Each structure stands twice: as structure tokens, then as C-alpha cells.
Amino acid sequence: MISTSNLSKVYNGNTVLNIESLDIPKGQSFGLVGNNGAGKTTYFSLLLDLIRPSSGHIVSNTIQVNKSEDWKPFTTAFIDESFLIGYLTPEEYFYFIGELRGQNRADVNKVLDRFEDLFHGEILNKKKYLRDLSKGNQKKVGIAAALIGHPEVIVLDEPFANLDPTTQIRLKAILKDLAQKQGVTILISSHDLLHVTDVCERIVVLHKGEIIKDLITNEATLKELEAHFANQSLV
């Protein structure tokens, strides 16, 4: 589904990402972990053509993302609050995203129904602009919008940050259902090792822009990751 070849990104002579090869099959829940500056957000930004590679490329469903925009109809993402439109209400934003993805209001409402428990009555019908919501509620809006339009690929950067425990648990259930039952390819970046091992069937560890571990998740994965990062902190 997603294939990365000889990909690098260099800023002012400093290589921040260098991935020779990385293949993510369709329907895989894929986690990307690493300390700050490891290259996680850089990789996602390249995947979404927000920045251009210094060398190499990423192909998504046979489409090279920096050469064509044909990957956009089947790809959704929420990286940070810059993806939102601050002067819209949540409802206006959801229906706007729905129009972009060929969905009518009834289609959008079906997606929002799945998030009713996560919204805790704090988002819809409150006559608030997105810019006035808390960071956690802004994130809920961004993630919910990423599910509109039956995407085949969903990219989420730090989806569990700023969310309360109940919301984290319910969001994990939604993401697992999308990958395991609906065959959606989900890419998650997270600092939370517990959540990412719970949701993702495969986890790649980045360090200074390079892949140093590629793990199929099992009962020992969390301890292995914790040991790895504990040792890194001592270096």
C-alpha cells in the first residue's frame, strides 16, 4: 500500500530523515515511535506532500505522492491544529470536509454518531469556533474529521495526547475496528508506548532519522520498547 524508497530530508546540511526502505501493507495498523527529533513528523509530512524530499520518494497505492495528487481522495490525516479552520464551528468544519470528500450531511452525521461518547457534549451545538475549543477538543474534531469519507489511509500524529483516559480508550477501539474489520491502513505517531503497542500490530522505532527497530507487536513488545528508550536516556 505504502512504499518508501531511499527517502531523505536534509535541512541546512543536517540529515533529519534517512530511510532506505519501508513497506506498509494495506490494512496494517502501523506505529512510529522515537524521541523528539527522531523524524516521525518529518516522515508524515513527506507522506502527505507537505514538504518535499531531498532524495527518494514515497508511493501510496501506486501513486508517487510528490508527483501526483491522486492519492488525496483515499487519504486523510490530522497532524496538528493547523489542519483546522479556526473561524468555523465544529459543525461547519465537519460539513465542509464532507463536501470535499463527496459526502452529504447524512453521511457526515453517521461518522459523528461514532464520536458522540468522545465529544462528551462539549463540541456540537455549542456555538463555539474551533479556535475557542480546548486543545483536547480540537484534537477530537481533527480526528473525527479524518474519518469522514471512507478513507483507505489515515495518518495521525500523537492522537492520544491531550485526551482524557476515557476518550483514549474509546479512540483506540475505533482505530482497531477500522484496521482489523474494515481494512483501513492506519499510521500513528506517538510518544505513548502503551497506547501505540495496544493499537498497532507493527511498530517502527526511529532514531536520528533512521530505522533502528521494526517490530511485530506481541506481549513482549512494550517491555522491549521501554528497555530500549531507558537505555537511550543513559547514553
How large is the average pLDDT for residues 76-101? 95
Average pLDDT rounded to a whole number, residues 208-234: 90
Q: Number of folded domains in the chain?
A: 1
- pLDDT digit string, tens, across residues 175-215: 999 999 999 999 999 999 999 999 999 999 999 999 999 99
* pTM listed for this prediction: 0.93
* CA–CA distance, 105 with 91 (Å, rounded to integer): 10
pLDDT at 139: 93
Q: Is a pLDDT exceeding 80 seen at residue 232?
A: no
62 confidence band (pLDDT: 50, 70, 90): very high
* pLDDT above 80 for 160: yes
Q: How confident is the model at residue 11 (pLDDT cuts 50, 70, 90)?
A: very high
Report the candidate in 47, 56, 63 with the shortest Cα–Cα distance to residue 5.
56
Please give the grid coordinates belonging to residue 167.
Answer: 476518550
Given its phi and psi angles, is residue 7 left (phi above 0), alpha (psi -120 to 50 degrees) or beta?
beta
Q: What is the model's pLDDT at position 172? A: 93
We report the CATH number of the domain holding residue 48 as 3.40.50.300
Q: Are 12 and 59 in contact (CB under 8 A)?
A: no
* Cβ–Cβ under 8 Å, residues 225 and 195: no
Determine the Cα–Cα distance for residues 201 and 217; give it in Å rounded to an integer.
5
Angle at 52 between CA 50 and CA 54, to 5 degrees: 150
Q: How high does pLDDT run on average in the chain?
A: 94
Domain hosting 171: range is: 2-234
Angle in degrees, 0-180, between the axes of helices 165-180 and 135-146, rounded to the nearest 10: 10
SS3 state of residue 94? helix
Confidence of residue 166 (pLDDT cuts 50, 70, 90): confident
**pLDDT of 8 above 80:** yes
The SS3 of residue 234 is helix
233: confidence class by pLDDT, cuts 50, 70, 90: low
Q: Are 24 and 188 in contact (CB under 8 A)?
A: no
